[in-house]
């Protein structure tokens, strides 16, 4: 199994020409099939349009790089309706609230693992208060835009302290996390001062940000808290 943290920050290399296409900025999940569908590509011109690599185009996911056959497998998301819809629907598991079918809040997703061959999500780590636990795929009933639904029995399994989980992170993963944070700061610096090109709605379809609004640090924090940061990055002029 591969974790999101292991993959984010890895370079994407094309066999033809041995060219580095970019690095993995994030993963996009198909909530219906519960599997990784796209790798979102980070490159120097990421802000011009969102570039993705379909999971089916990946030749291998190694410890140090993602391998694909050629540059032609990198797709501009806006040119493919299916990919664009996946990105627009909200495709992130991280920070998603987790609820049981009995309506009990179980925590927030902090990490997930997936099969590197199929992309199917195998399990999720969730945190609540000062502890974390792992929810296996057979306990996950639904991936939703506003919440992940699990069976009641899945709530209390595998309790672990947050500190214990941090201690298990390998140095390479910690380094990649730092690199991802650096990329995040670069994105933040780029966004500040830009103009929002279209209204962004919250989960109740109320206007969260208006078209024409200038992005500030407060805008970014508000978007993150509302799980709308990715949508914000795609909605600037």
pLDDT > 50? residue 162:
no
Does the domain made of 171-233 have the CATH classification 3.40.1710?
no
Domain 2-88 identical in fold to domain 171-233: no
Which band of pLDDT confidence, cut at 50, 70 and 90, is reported for residue 78?
Answer: confident
DSSP 36: E
Q: Which two tokens stand for residue 68?
A: 């694909």
Select from 233, 176, 167 the least CA-distant residue to 28: 233
Mean local confidence (pLDDT), 37-44:
82
Four-CA torsion 86, 74, 116, 98, nearest 10 degrees: -20
Q: Which of 191, 183, 215, 232 is nearest to 44 (CA)?
A: 183
Q: Domain 97-167 belongs to what topology?
A: SH3 type barrels. (2.30.30)
pLDDT in tens, 176-228: 444 445 545 656 777 788 888 888 888 788 888 888 899 898 888 888 888 88
* CA 187 – CA 185 distance, rounded (Å): 5
37 against 178, higher pLDDT: 37
| CA diameter of the chain | 54
Length of the chain: 237
The structure tokens listed for 130 are 């000062």
Q: Which residues are 196's β-sheet partners? A: 236
Looking at every residue in the chain, the average pLDDT score rounds to: 80
Q: What's the token pair of residue 183?
A: 């990329």
**Two structure tokens written together for 102:** 């009995």
Coil vs helix vs strand at 20: strand
115 pLDDT above the threshold of 80: yes
Written as six digits, the tokens of 104 are 């009990």
The residues spanned by each domain of the chain are: 2-88, 97-167, 171-233
Query: What is the rounded distance in angstroms from the CA atom of residue 143 to the CA atom of residue 149?
Result: 7
CATH 3.30.1300.10 given to domain 2-88? no
Q: What is the DSSP string of 34-71?
A: TEEEEEEEE-TTGGGS-EEEEGGGEEEE-SS-EEES-G
Q: For residues 87 and 69, what is the distance between their CA atoms, to the nearest angstrom?
A: 24
């Amino acid at each position: 199994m591969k974790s999101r943290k292991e993959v984010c920050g890895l370079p994407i290399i094309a066999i033809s020409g041995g060219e580095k296409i970019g690095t993995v900025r994030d993963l996009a999940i198909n909530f219906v099939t519960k599997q990784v569908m796209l790798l979102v590509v980070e490159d120097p011109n990421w802000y011009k349009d969102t570039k993705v690599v379909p999971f089916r185009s990946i030749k291998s996911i190694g410890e140090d790089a993602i391998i694909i056959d050629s540059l032609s497998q990198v797709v501009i998301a806006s040119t493919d309706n299916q990919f664009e819809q996946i990105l627009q629907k909200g495709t992130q598991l991280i920070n998603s609230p987790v609820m049981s079918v009995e309506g009990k809040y179980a925590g927030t997703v902090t990490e997930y693992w997936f099969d590197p061959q199929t992309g199917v999500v195998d399990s999720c780590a969730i945190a609540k208060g000062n502890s974390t636990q792992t929810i296996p795929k057979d306990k996950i009933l639904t991936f939703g835009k506003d919440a992940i639904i699990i069976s009641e029995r899945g709530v209390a399994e595998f309790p672990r302290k947050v500190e214990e989980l941090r201690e298990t992170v390998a140095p390479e993963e910690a380094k990649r996390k730092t690199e991802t944070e650096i990329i995040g700061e670069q994105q933040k610096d780029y966004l500040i001062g830009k103009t929002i090109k279209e209204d962004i709605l919250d989960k109740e379809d109320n206007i969260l940000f208006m078209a024409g609004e200038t992005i500030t640090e407060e805008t970014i924090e508000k978007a993150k808290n509302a799980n709308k940061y990715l949508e914000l990055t795609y909605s600037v002029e």
